[in-house]
Every structure is written in structure tokens, then in C-alpha cells.
């Protein structure tokens, strides 16, 4: 095969290849789905952050491609209870429970093209009930 034909064949293959990061849902069809497995985590940004007294950071994440929000907890040091993660918009509400083990955790998504709010309820390692609250800039 000549070099120009080889280049043309490679370009055609790249054009025809499916997008590996394409989201598997859209709009309200993303409600209560995992943002990573649905492909909405790619290109997402942090809309708000709140420190967690037990160590770690709660983040309200935004996916412009899926138009969804979810709560992610980064570097959690662990606590005495599960993490009760909630995210909501003016019309939809999604709750999720994650293990209270050390590490990174996230909840499921809610369709929220405008204002979105999030919350993490947990009991820290000292037995104290805590809440981390989050809100997007559109609230």
C-alpha cells in the first residue's frame, strides 16, 4: 500500500471510530445513574466544594455534556457511618448511600441544567453527626 493510501485509510478509521467517551444517557434519563459508567464524568468540572470535618472534600460536580450534577467525596479519611449523599434540582431528587470507608466516593446524578444542590450526611470518627452542603452558582 502506498503511503498516501495508508494515511487515508488511517484517517477514515479514526473518523468512523465511535467516541469512547460518549455518554449513555441524556437529560432526565441520567437521573440516578453512575456518572462514571454513564460517560458523564469526562469533561466534568467542580461547581462547589465543602470541607469534611472527618477529612476530605465534598464536591458538587457538573457535566456540561449530560447537563447533570452529582456529589463526589475526595480523600475521605473514614468515619463511623455510611455517607448519605443527596443531590437535587428544582424538579428532581436523587439519594445514594456510600460506604464510610477511607478513599474517594461519589453518588448518582440528577439532571440539573440550572440550580443544583448537594449534601453529604455522615458521622465522623469521633461519633459527631456532620453535614457538608453544596450549591451550584446558578442557585
- The grid cell for 21 is 467517551
Contact call for residues 133 and 116 (beta carbons, < 8 A) = no
Of residues 58, 57, 59, 119, the one with CA closest to residue 84: 119
d(CA 6, CA 25) in angstroms, rounded, equals 36
Kindly state the percentage of the chain with pLDDT values over 90.
68
Note the pLDDT of residue 21. Answer: 56
Instruction: Indicate the CATH number of 30-135 among 3.90.830, 2.60.40, 1.20.120, 1.10.246.
Output: 2.60.40
Q: Which residues contact 9 (CB under 8 A, 6 or more apart)?
A: 1
Residue 47: φ, ψ to 5°: -90, -30
Q: Which residue has the higher pLDDT, 9 or 40?
A: 40
Q: Give the closest residue to 85 by CA, choosing from 32, 20, 23, 37.
A: 32
134 has pLDDT over 60: yes
Cβ neighbours around 51 below 10 Å, total: 10
pLDDT confidence band for 78 (50 / 70 / 90)? confident
pLDDT of residue 12: 35
67 pLDDT above the threshold of 80:
yes
Amino acid at each position: 500500500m502506498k503511503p498516501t493510501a495508508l494515511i487515508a485509510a488511517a484517517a477514515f478509521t479514526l473518523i468512523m471510530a465511535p467516541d469512547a467517551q460518549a455518554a449513555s444517557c441524556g437529560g432526565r434519563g441520567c437521573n440516578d445513574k453512575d456518572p462514571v459508567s454513564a460517560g458523564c464524568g469526562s469533561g466534568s468540572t467542580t461547581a462547589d466544594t465543602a470541607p469534611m470535618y472527618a477529612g476530605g472534600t465534598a464536591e458538587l460536580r457538573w457535566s456540561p455534556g449530560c447537563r447533570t450534577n452529582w456529589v463526589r467525596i475526595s480523600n475521605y479519611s473514614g468515619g463511623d457511618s455510611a455517607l448519605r449523599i443527596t443531590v437535587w434540582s428544582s424538579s428532581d431528587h436523587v439519594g445514594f448511600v456510600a460506604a464510610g470507608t477511607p478513599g474517594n466516593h461519589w453518588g448518582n446524578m440528577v439532571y440539573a441544567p440550572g440550580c443544583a444542590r448537594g449534601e453529604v450526611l455522615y458521622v465522623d470518627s469521633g461519633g459527631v453527626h456532620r453535614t457538608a452542603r453544596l450549591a451550584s452558582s446558578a442557585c
